[in-house]
A = this chain, B = another copy of it.
Amino acid sequence: MQIANHLKKMKPSYIREILSTANTDGIISLAGGLPASSHLPIELIQHNLSSTFREPKLFQYGETAGYLPLLEHLKQQYPVSDTHKSFITTGSQQALDLIARAFLNTGDGVVVEAPSYLGALQVFELAQANIISIEQTKNGPDLNKLETTFASGKVKLFYAVPDFHNPTGAVWSLETRQQVAELCKIYNIALMEDAPYRELRFSGQDLPLVSSFCPQHSWVLRSFSKIAFPGIRLGFATGPKDLIEPLIKVKQAADLHSSIPMQAVLLDLLRHPSFNAHLKGLCELYHERYQALALALSHSLSADFSFEAVEGGMFLWLKTPGKKPIQLAQAALKKGVAIVPGSVFYQHHSNSSPAIRLNFSNSDPKQLQEAVQRLAQVLC
């Protein structure tokens, strides 16, 4: 039987495919976007486990919007706009997918940064959107190009990762945040502000959410994969009522609701008196790992291979002029290091500048140094 036409266009995830290979013995993986396996806050969920897992109501069907005590906690603990409503998703990936399914007709325009998160590109391809890529500068998207594109009248949504961007690690400046919000209001574009790395700042100053400047024109997508556990598949999305209710309606058909016992376990974690210390420790750990990676790259590679310093998140974007990233990734894998070629983060691979994405959150400094040694053999 023939698959649906829209599926024929969707690329499989290079990253999820390389993750299987990268688990092989002896390979150091800088490929995934995995939090540190050694620092998952597993201890902080033990105290209440046996009572949580004895509550029958957590095991029955629940509300599609999510487990009410968790929703109430999130409302108190996260800076959510007064006009925003929240609901729980099966990972923030699901929020992306629900937005695309609830709001996009075939051919509707979606603006993305170039490069951009691969999982978002997949979702927009599946929705048969018209994906328009806007080049990223050091401070965020190129604002002139963004305005010209918005002004074309062909754009419905703008997908962006303003904090510790995946794959580049870039952070939008305050001015860019304000201007993008203004443009969204002027041209009536809905912003999908994807913020999975926002809590992972290890230097510099926190900046307000872009959506705080245009709350009626935005969703904020949050993930618990980076600050808690990816395996539990939980995230949450906020937005004005008229942008959230259609998502809950699609979620009914997609999976009815997300796992309730997992939501209760997550709530126990978020309420734990040591959760903030865990988060602080995670940022310190990633800072140390980032510094080890940056130092090793500066020592071992020629000045041709440069990168912008990052202030948080999980990724460093190494420019590799004159090298073909896909071939580079294959050669690196043979030497025992898994990386992601930058080209996979572009809708059209051919438009990309040569670069590779390096993850520093899930390898210790020694592994990072060894990985760079192996990479240097390929890059020389």
Report A's interface with B, CB cutoff 8 A.
Answer: 1-7, 10, 12-13, 16, 19-20, 32, 34-35, 37-38, 40, 42, 45-46, 49-50, 53-54, 56-64, 90-91, 93-94, 97, 101-105, 119, 122-123, 126, 156, 188, 190, 225, 229-233, 242-243, 246, 249-250, 252-262, 265
Known: A60-B40, A242-B1. A253 touches B126 (CB 8 A): yes
Report how far A261 CA is from B60 CA in the complex, Å: 17
- CB of A105 within 8 A of CB of B5, answer yes
Tell me which residues across on chain B come within 8 A of A13, comparing CB atoms: 252
- A230 / chain B contacts, CB cutoff of 8 Å: 59-61
Contacts A4-B104, A232-B260 supplied; 16 other A-B pairs, CB < 8 Å: A1-B188, A1-B243, A2-B103, A3-B246, A4-B102, A4-B103, A42-B53, A42-B54, A46-B53, A59-B232, A90-B254, A93-B253, A93-B256, A231-B261, A255-B255, A259-B262
Q: How far is the CA of A104 from the CA of B40 in the complex (A)?
A: 40
**Most chain B CB neighbours (cut-off 10 Å) among A32, A38, A53, A63:** A53
Q: Tell which of A19, A32, A46, A249 has the most Cβ of chain B within 10 Å.
A: A249
Q: In this complex, which of A37, A119, A256, A260 has the most chain B Cβ atoms within 10 angstroms of its Cβ? A: A256
Oligomer copy total:
2
Say yes or no: A58-B10 contact (C-beta < 8 A), given A102-B4, A254-B93, A262-B261: no
Is the Cβ of A231 less than 8 Å from the Cβ of B60? yes
Contact (Cβ within 8 A) B122 A253: yes
Q: Which of B53, B91, B93, B255 contacts A93 (CB 8 A)?
A: B255
Contact with A16, one of B57, B60, B252 (Cβ below 8 angstroms):
B252
Q: A3-B102, A4-B105, A255-B233 are in contact. Are A56 and B34 (CB under 8 A)?
A: no
Q: Cβ of B119 and Cβ of A61 under 8 Å apart?
A: no
Kindly report which residue of chain B lies nearest to residue A121, judged by CB atoms: B253
CB distance from A269 to the nearest CB of B (A): 11
